[in-house]
Amino acid sequence: SLIFLFPPLLSPVGGEQISSIGRGLCVLLGISLEDTQRELEHMVRKILNLRVFEDESGKHWSKSVMDKQYEVLCVSQFTLQCILKGNKPDYHMAMPTEQAESFYNNFLEQLRKAYKPELIKDGKFGAYMQVHIQNDGPVTIELESPAATVDPKQLTKLEKQQQRKEKTRTKVPSESSRERNAPRNKDDPSASSGAEGDVSSEREP
């Protein structure tokens, strides 16, 4: 999961205002294919306890959204799972829509259970939304779930390496290579006394 936090937000869709909050947090949630209940619970705790607001004396980074009894507005945003391949965005790491909607609704439910239900607002899942954010500060914080140990940029490299390995494994040896690797007759004077090396131990690229 990737979450970006902004305080605060207004959220109209096609001219119709779906949801809005005053002071608080706007949570943009990108749900990954690999996200589970564990990641969900971690994110809920972080969002509600992250100290991004000032205290009564004006000291910054002292109070959480719960401490201040502020609102939270959540927006599902699969584009946070974008991987750039050249200039083209690729979203194959984002959870599919039906599964993601269930996950997102569960996320909202857990937030409401852990805080005050009336202070948790959300947009419209899957809708084209015009999001207006009045970012106080501005403050934008990225949260990443514990499971997101692989950098998405590195993931593409790992996928390419895996594809190259698969090609190597499925490659049929040519006639000349079969002859080279065929066991030589011990009566052959040109035969080497050393091991010729097994085809299966071919070095990976």
Query: How far apart are alpha carbons 134 and 10 in whole angstroms?
Result: 8
The separation between CA 62 and the C-alpha centre of its own chain, rounded to angstroms, equals 28
Rounded to whole angstroms, how far apart are CA atoms 105 and 68?
25
Share in percent of the chain as helix, strand, coil (round to 5): 35, 25, 40
What are the tens digits of pLDDT across the range 144-163? 888 655 555 555 555 565 55
* Predicted pLDDT at 204: 42
Has residue 191 been placed in a domain? no
CATH code of the domain containing 43: 3.50.80.10
Q: How many domains does the chain have?
A: 1
Q: Is residue 132 part of a domain?
A: yes
- pLDDT beyond 60 at 113: yes
* Least confident interval from 43-57, 111-125, 138-152, 153-167: 153-167
Residue 183 is predicted with a pLDDT of: 53
Q: Would you name the residues annotated as active-site residues?
A: 79
Residues 6+ apart with CB under 8 A from 54: 60, 61, 62, 63
d(CA 173, CA 170): 9
The pLDDT of residue 84: 92
Q: In which domain, by residue range, is 21 found?
A: 2-145
Task: Return the structure tokens found at 90.
Answer: 């690729």
Is the predicted pLDDT of residue 198 greater than 50, yes or no?
Answer: no
